[in-house]
Structure 1
Amino acid sequence: METFTEVKIYSKPKNVYNAIAKEIIKMVQNSNQEIFDIALSGGYSPKGLFKKISKKYAEQVPWQRIHLWWGDERCVPPTDEQSNYKMTVDYLISNINIPENNIHRIQGEQDPELEALRYSKEMEDTLNSRGKNPVFDLIILGLGDDGHTASIFPDQLDLFEHEQNCAVAVHPLTGQKRITITGNVINNANQVFFLVTGTNKALRISEIMNDNDAAQLLPAYYISPENGTLTWFLDEEAAAQIS
């Protein structure tokens, strides 16, 4: 089945954040599901999205129905500045009224292998499933300068075939361990949003969009939800080199 892919380009990052926030509100309001499972991304771009939601849309989002998960986490305590969870608490969770039970944290301070198993099981026990994989209603992904997404790096493309829902990944430069959801889970989502802004992402975006041979080395190239839709939310800088 061909993935339905859409590319949306906005003049500035703040317009990208606005568009995604509105899309999330619409999606949840139009859904008759009682619970809506969203996996969040770490990194710089989501920070802007979280700030925008906190400032402008906090009251409009039905948080009682939303469960928050993470696509990846660095193996650090939740109070560490590098923690994706901490960043989400600082810029989003502390500003919204969401039940504590709706927050599903990856415990970066635990033994990585055991935590990957535990989080895999939590997903299995909690989420809907399609085939043998759990289903997120929405996964928000970022794009690294090297083409990585979640914590699937170019030298670890085998994580697309991994049978667990979560696995331990290693940052190729720093050697830092991370826990990431795997490719099968990402490609089983109902919707995937890529949130990508800035000039430093333009080359990677052009490789993927223009289907260059170089793109086949990039993890983000392999994101293609089999039963869902893929939407790229780009600012003009990130989209500048698409032919």
Structure 2
Amino acid sequence: METFTEVRIFSKPKKVYNAIAKELIKLTQNSTQEIFDIALSGGNSPKGLFKKLSQKYADQIPWNRIHFWWGDERCVSPDDEQSNYKMTVDYLLSNISIPPENIHRIKGEANPEQEAIRYSEEMEKSLNSRGKNPVFDIIILGLGDDGHTASIFPDQLELFEDEANCAVAQHPITGQKRITITGNVLNNANQIFFLVTGANKALRISEIMDDSEAAKLLPAYYISPENGELIWFLDEAAASLIS
């Protein structure tokens, strides 16, 4: 199984953020599309990228054409410290000038099952499609220590076969409910950027890159856009165990 298109390794996290920022600038500036749809990752990984975009490159990105979506969200209110949306507001959205209608948040405070359906319908209505699935121009993904990505966890690999665009997932340890985009939508993107930094991710990265048996248990291993490009942006610590 071909698990990656391109791997770029940088000396430190700041250089990873810079490289992704420059890639986003290039793709959005060169695009003739009226609307450019980007699905964002949650967790800690993108904070540095969001700071870089809003502090250094804010004037180089056509925000009026960018529509932001989320790959997943924890089932909490939008002002909760665990909310992916709140983190994005704090580090990016509050520092740039973007039309409010360009922000498509997952309502973590809503009934999870109903919200998965609502968000799925919003994607169908707003996004381009290829085959029966919606298409994101770019999806930015992170990698958990356990190999999860978006909110597809190792015990829920069936979400790569799920017919729906969104599903309700559950964190295997805390039991917290989350809403996630499913594998069919993730693998329908035009571009996927994996943003992975830190030595705590090195074992999972090596398993995936070395195509080991252990990798077949990891959701991130199954990210392979059928009609798009996959780029891994790693720092040296995350890449340190690749053989």
In 1, Cα distance between equivalents of 2:100 and 2:59: 17
Structure 1 vs Structure 2 CA RMSD: 1.1
Q: 1:3 to 1:176 in 2, by over 3 A?
A: closer
Percent of counterpart pairs with the same letter? 81
Q: 1:132 to 1:3 in 2, by over 3 A?
A: farther
Structure 2 match to 1:113: 113
Q: Which runs of 5+ in 1 are unaligned?
A: none
SS in 1 for 2:45: helix
Which one-letter code corresponds to 2:41 in the other structure? S
In 2, Cα distance between equivalents of 1:13 and 1:61: 21
- Alpha carbons 1:183, 1:223 under 8 Å: kept: yes
In 2, Cα distance between equivalents of 1:4 and 1:236: 17
In 1, Cα distance between equivalents of 2:96 and 2:179: 26
TM-score w.r.t. the length of structure 2 is: 0.99
Shift of 1:4: 6.5
Shift of 1:131: 0.2
Matches within 5 A, 1:119-138: 119-138=119-138
SS in 1 for 2:59: coil
Shift of 1:54: 1.1
Structure 2 match to 1:207: 207
1:220 maps onto 2:210 in alignment: no
Structure 2 match to 1:241: 241
In 2, Cα distance between equivalents of 1:139 and 1:44: 16
Matches within 5 A, 1:1-243: 5-243=5-243
In 2, Cα distance between equivalents of 1:52 and 1:2: 31
In 2, Cα distance between equivalents of 1:91 and 1:59: 16
In 2, Cα distance between equivalents of 1:73 and 1:142: 13
In 1, Cα distance between equivalents of 2:2 and 2:171: 31
Q: 1:41 to 1:110 in 2, by over 3 A?
A: same
- Alpha carbons 1:3, 1:226 under 8 Å: kept: no
TM-score w.r.t. the length of structure 1 is: 0.99
- Alpha carbons 2:3, 2:209 under 8 Å: kept: no
Q: 1:4 to 1:205 in 2, by over 3 A?
A: closer
Shift of 1:32: 1.1
SS in 2 for 1:152: coil
Q: Which runs of 5+ in 2 are unaligned?
A: none
SS in 2 for 1:178: strand
In 1, Cα distance between equivalents of 2:3 and 2:144: 22
